[in-house]
Amino acid sequence: MGRGQGEGYYKMKELSNGITAVPGFLASGIYAGIKKVEKKDLALIFSEKQCTAAGLFTKNEVKGAPVIISQRNIKKGAGQAIIANSGNSNVCTGKQGIKDADEMAALTAKALSIKPNLICVASTGVIGEPLPMEKIRNGIANVVSKISREGGRDAAEAIMTTDTFLKEKAVQIEINGKAVTIGGIAKGSGMIYPNMATMLAFIGTDAKIASGDLKRALKAAVDKSFNMTTVDGDTSTSDMVICLANGVSGVSITKSKGYKAFQEGLSYVCKELAKMVVKDGEGATKFVEIKIKGAKTFNDAKKIGMAIANSNLVKTALFASDANWGRIMCAIGYSGVRIKDNKIDIFFDNVKMVGNGVGLGKDAEREATEALKQKEFAITIDLRLGKAEAALWTCDFSYDYVRINAAYRT
Amino acid sequence: MGRGQGEGYYKMKELSNGITAVPGFLASGIYAGIKKVEKKDLALIFSEKQCTAAGLFTKNEVKGAPVIISQRNIKKGAGQAIIANSGNSNVCTGKQGIKDADEMAALTAKALSIKPNLICVASTGVIGEPLPMEKIRNGIANVVSKISREGGRDAAEAIMTTDTFLKEKAVQIEINGKAVTIGGIAKGSGMIYPNMATMLAFIGTDAKIASGDLKRALKAAVDKSFNMTTVDGDTSTSDMVICLANGVSGVSITKSKGYKAFQEGLSYVCKELAKMVVKDGEGATKFVEIKIKGAKTFNDAKKIGMAIANSNLVKTALFASDANWGRIMCAIGYSGVRIKDNKIDIFFDNVKMVGNGVGLGKDAEREATEALKQKEFAITIDLRLGKAEAALWTCDFSYDYVRINAAYRT
């Protein structure tokens, strides 16, 4: 499936069972009564062995209490468990919120007989309401008692909010003849416009890797996966990607040994999870890859791609299978990047719709419309100014986005 | 109505008849066959006397051909007529588009017996389709033959696209005992996130004012009116505000004489037109003023206001009369401005919903929900960090925005 650069071949194969595909990881997910409807809302991920750990967190200036607590606990690069609830984000809850997140860590640590600073806490859901701590206390006792080698799916389900399907991915890579597993879970599906980290994603691996190297690899993976997606342009207050590495495989990864293979495996898991989040974007009926080619820099390419991917006008046109390339040109124009509009080519899948900034007529449009009727397609923009490129992922914008978000708290 | 700062009192009263309320200005609007349905689509504004002129144009890197031609023609600060069509924006139409916009100016100039470089050209509508020049040629002959002192309304109607009502405003101010009139027309109502200028707005005045001073006054007016609005975060390729001053009143405005009164009149007309554009935002059911107080700088305040006003999550909540202040906190947090979230107060009209960054409970929420059920209300954010403030205007986000923009080209 992949090829390590400069390190010879290696193999990658997909596994089922998400994060619990990774040796040494247990998980569980239960209904603790936090959500109004009876759907799982409390998840636990636990490594039997202490891990090196890395985390990336939202750059939103308004940070949820769990973000603050997890950032503090993970600072030394160690971790062993993640306790996460859905149904309430514990954001804008003042000092009580911090206390509550801290108590979640403490209770989980006690029940697992590990130190509290080895716990990451995450919460997702409505902003501004106090956590129902009585339910959480009972829930933690319950969720700890249920952890198992098969619990990955339950944990993935318990972190869902408006998600319509659960998101998990695991791969096994071979490094110098030995197997290393990387598995993770994630949730979407609104307030998705990641900046640094995004929404919630929890990844485990049995690689043996120092926390500094793990963080570097995680940042590289997230920058090309979660950070290349947008559903609605809203960067959440609760975004968090945590990676725990328990070393159980016995395979040591260092900057000079196995790093590229590990990086590719980790990037693959992140990218697949990120794509699932976009596919399940609130109200989404279509999954769209936007490729920007011929830019002067990667940042230029990303800026232009994000301007297109965040344009309500583009997204409503995609919903209608309308090859309205004028709105794409318009978004390119206000992206903040210097371009030459009379050089731009635009393709819908492999149908060339715009050449040198001008539309190529009714026949092209008819073919482009067919491409846009698919559930998944790519839009490629060639700026013809340089050699940098970027690929990002978004979805269309339908009535259901409005319905879901007009009704979210009712 | 207003008061000149440091220049004593002056009076301002509203007039009917929009741009043709201004002495010396004639206008007309006709159906030339550019729109698919029989609705006026070609407008002409003409001053009997040559004017000083100022224009502000879109900062989008992709500029419509009419923007390019108008920028060129207005450069020397003189102007006398504006020819504007709706139904086709003449954007992304290559060299032919430039030729066509130039021909529109030339034909209009010839029919009016004035020089072509005294004409501004504007087009609005679908991007990327060639102008139907045969219809435009016949249309120009027709629209010139129909100009009159009462034609302001027809012109305002002929520049409408998805607008549901026409937008015009005129005021008479008294400067040193003499009357000066300022009147204008504008159109919206999608792709509204002005950057420098916005959409189309044409303003006339009978003040006598040098083009440099006129431009300064226009920029100040636009910065606090059109540039403080957003419907959907998409900055159009065709934005343009033109102001023509024919001097017919005999009242000279200079930096030291009557300038503040003139500025206030011009700002008032721009602000009223801008508000109309927002009220008629595509799919809008509510008009919302967002006031940011206690910021360190005006730019900080504007950035935060725009982050809130452009958030789909905030706008869908407003549509649902849901006092979901957490989404507002979230948008403040990702605006790019350093804030202290535990200092922020949020009011819906005069209902305090958030104090020190924390929600004030169910009673406040019940009252806030009532405020949000109104057709018009204000959201006030007090950052409590400084003394700068900004007010901006936006609308909610409804199913109809999706409907209108999914169907726009069909």
β-bridge partners, B290: B379, B392
Give, in degrees to the nearest 5, the angle at Cα B212 between B211 and B216. Answer: 115
Active site (annotated) includes residue A124: no
Judged by CB atoms closer than 8 Å, whether chains meet at B61 and A342 is answered as no
Q: Are B287 and B398 in contact (CB under 8 A)?
A: no
Chain B touched by A362 (CB under 8 Å): no
Summarize the confidence of residues B244-262 as an average pLDDT. Answer: 91
Summarize the confidence of residues A353-368 as an average pLDDT. Answer: 94
* 3-state DSSP of chain B: CCECCCCCECCEEEECCHHHHCCCEEEEEECCCCCCCCCCCEEEEEEEEEEEEEEEECCCCCCCHHHHHHHHHHCCCEEEEEEEEECECCCCCHHHHHHHHHHHHHHHHHHHCCCHHHEEEEEECCCCCCCCHHHHHHHHHHHHHCCECCCHHHHHHHCCCCCCCCEEEEEEEEECCEEEEEEEEEECCCCCCCECECCEEEEEECCEECHHHHHHHHHHHHHCCHHHEECCCCCCCCCEEEEEECCCCCCEEECCEEHHHHHHHHHHHHHHHHHHHHHCCCCCCCEEEEEEEEECCHHHHHHHHHHHHCCHHHHHHHHCCCCCHHHHHHHHHCCCCCCCHHHCEEEECCEEEEECCEECCHHHHHHHHHHHCCCEEEEEEECCCCCEEEEEEEECCCHHHHHHHHHCCC
User: If pLDDT is split at 50, 70 and 90, which confidence band does B33 have?
Assistant: very high
Residue in chain B lying closest to A94 (CA): B358
Q: Which of B375, B379, B388 is nearest to B354 (CA)?
A: B379
User: If pLDDT is split at 50, 70 and 90, which confidence band does B289 have?
Assistant: very high
Asked if pLDDT for residue B387 goes beyond 50, the answer is yes
Asked if pLDDT for residue A376 goes beyond 90, the answer is yes
Cα separation of A107 and A371, whole Å?
53
Judged by CB atoms closer than 8 Å, whether chains meet at A63 and B333 is answered as yes
Judged by CB atoms closer than 8 Å, whether chains meet at A406 and B320 is answered as yes
Summarize the confidence of residues A327-355 as an average pLDDT. Answer: 94
Cα separation of B306 and A385, whole Å?
31
**Amino acid (1-letter code) at residue A187:** K
**What's the whole-model pTM score?**
0.83
Q: Is the torsion defined by CA of A70, B343, B388, B270 positive or negative? A: positive
CA trace torsion A186, A190, A191, A193 (10° rounding) = 70
Window A:56-95, CB contacts with B under 8 Å: 59-63, 89, 91-94
Chain A residues touching B311 at Cβ < 8 A: 233-234
Give, in degrees to the nearest 5, the angle at Cα A150 between A146 and A156. Answer: 85
Cite the residue boundaries of each domain of chain A with CATH code 3.10.20.340: 287-407
Judged by CB atoms closer than 8 Å, whether chains meet at B327 and A93 is answered as no
Q: Which of B155, B154, B184, B160 is nearest to B171 (CA)?
A: B184
Q: Are B60 and B195 in contact (CB under 8 A)?
A: yes
Cα separation of A369 and A351, whole Å?
10
Least confident of A155-169, B131-145, B188-202: B188-202
Summarize the confidence of residues A156-183 as an average pLDDT. Answer: 91
User: If pLDDT is split at 50, 70 and 90, which confidence band does A240 have?
Assistant: confident
Cα separation of B282 and B160, whole Å?
12
Give, in degrees to the nearest 5, the angle at Cα A325 between A317 and A308. Answer: 70
Judged by CB atoms closer than 8 Å, whether chains meet at B237 and A311 is answered as no
Q: Which of B161, B198, B237, B380 is catalytic?
A: B198
User: Chain A to chain B, count of Cβ pairs less than 8 Å apart?
Assistant: 214
B152-182 pLDDT, tens digit per residue, is 999 999 999 888 899 999 999 998 889 999 9
Cis bond before residue B189 (omega within 30° of 0): yes
Tokens of B66: 């009419």
Asked if pLDDT for residue B3 goes beyond 50, the answer is no
Window B:187-226, CB contacts with A under 8 Å: 190-191, 193, 195
Cα separation of B58 and B239, whole Å?
5
Judged by CB atoms closer than 8 Å, whether chains meet at A235 and B330 is answered as yes
The predicted structure's pLDDT at residue A200: 82
Q: Which residues contact residue B256 at a Cβ distance below 8 angstroms, ignoring those fewer than 6 apart?
A: none
Pairing of strands B229-230, B388-395: parallel
Judged by CB atoms closer than 8 Å, whether chains meet at A409 and B322 is answered as yes
Q: Are A49 and A246 in contact (CB under 8 A)?
A: yes
Judged by CB atoms closer than 8 Å, whether chains meet at B329 and A92 is answered as yes
User: If pLDDT is split at 50, 70 and 90, which confidence band does A90 have?
Assistant: very high
The predicted structure's pLDDT at residue B407: 74
- For residue B281, how far is the Cα from the chain centroid? 12
Chain A touched by B130 (CB under 8 Å): no
Tokens of B155: 């012109």
Q: What is the mean pLDDT of chain A?
A: 90
Q: Are A42 and A140 in contact (CB under 8 A)?
A: yes
The predicted structure's pLDDT at residue B410: 55
Chain A residues touching B335 at Cβ < 8 A: 61
Residue A204: phi, psi to the nearest 5? -120, 155
Q: How far is A48 from chain B (nearest CA, A)?
A: 36
**Crossing angle (nearest 10°) for helices B312-319 and B325-333:** 160
The predicted structure's pLDDT at residue A325: 94
Asked if pLDDT for residue B196 goes beyond 50, the answer is no
Residue B405: phi, psi to the nearest 5? -90, -15
The predicted structure's pLDDT at residue A232: 74
User: If pLDDT is split at 50, 70 and 90, which confidence band does A1 have?
Assistant: very low
Q: What percent of chain B has pLDDT over 70?
A: 94
Summarize the confidence of residues B27-54 as an average pLDDT. Answer: 96
Least confident of A135-144, B99-108, B319-328: B319-328
Summarize the confidence of residues B357-375 as an average pLDDT. Answer: 94
A106 vs A229: which has the higher pLDDT? A106
Chain A residues touching B194 at Cβ < 8 A: none
Chain A touched by B361 (CB under 8 Å): no
Asked if pLDDT for residue B189 goes beyond 60, the answer is yes
Q: Which of A279, A200, A275 is nearest to A243 (CA)?
A: A200
Asked if pLDDT for residue B198 goes beyond 60, the answer is no
* 3-state DSSP of chain A: CCECCCCCECCEEEECCHHHHCCCEEEEEECCCCCCCCCCCEEEEEEEEEEEEEEEECCCCCCCHHHHHHHHHHCCCEEEEEEEEECECCCCCHHHHHHHHHHHHHHHHHHHCCCHHHEEEEEECCCCCCCCHHHHHHHHHHHHHCCECCCHHHHHHHCCCCCCCCEEEEEEEEECCEEEEEEEEEECCCCCCCECECCEEEEEECCEECHHHHHHHHHHHHHCCHHHEECCCCCCCCCEEEEEECCCCCCEEECCEEHHHHHHHHHHHHHHHHHHHHHCCCCCCCEEEEEEEEECCHHHHHHHHHHHHCCHHHHHHHHCCCCCHHHHHHHHHCCCCCCCHHHCEEEECCEEEEECCEECCHHHHHHHHHHHCCCEEEEEEECCCCCEEEEEEEECCCHHHHHHHHHCCC
CATH architecture of A12-279: 4-Layer Sandwich (3.60)
The predicted structure's pLDDT at residue B225: 83
Q: What is the mean pLDDT of chain B?
A: 90
User: If pLDDT is split at 50, 70 and 90, which confidence band does B4 have?
Assistant: very low
Cα separation of B127 and B88, whole Å?
7
Cite the residue boundaries of each domain of chain B with CATH code 3.60.70.12: 12-279
Q: Are B408 and B245 in contact (CB under 8 A)?
A: no
Q: How far is B139 from chain A (nearest CA, A)?
A: 25
Q: Are B179 and B208 in contact (CB under 8 A)?
A: no
Q: What percent of chain B has pLDDT over 90?
A: 68
Judged by CB atoms closer than 8 Å, whether chains meet at A324 and B409 is answered as yes
Summarize the confidence of residues B371-376 as an average pLDDT. Answer: 96
Cα separation of B92 and A369, whole Å?
19
The predicted structure's pLDDT at residue B223: 86
Residue B369: phi, psi to the nearest 5? -60, -40
B334-363 pLDDT, tens digit per residue, is 898 999 999 999 999 999 999 999 999 999
Cα separation of B238 and A403, whole Å?
32
Cα separation of B119 and B244, whole Å?
11
Cα separation of B356 and B333, whole Å?
14
Residue in chain B lying closest to A236 (CA): B330
| Among candidates A233, A235, A334 on the partner chain, residue whose Cβ is nearest the Cβ of B235 | A334
Q: Buried (b) or exposed (e) across A257-279, using 16+ Cβ within 10 A?
A: ebbbbbbbbbbbbbbbbbbbbbb
A73 vs A196: which has the higher pLDDT? A73
Asked if pLDDT for residue A10 goes beyond 60, the answer is no
Asked if pLDDT for residue B29 goes beyond 60, the answer is yes
Chain B residues touching A63 at Cβ < 8 A: 333, 341
Q: Are B270 and B201 in contact (CB under 8 A)?
A: yes
Cα separation of B321 and B344, whole Å?
22
CATH architecture of B287-407: Roll (3.10)
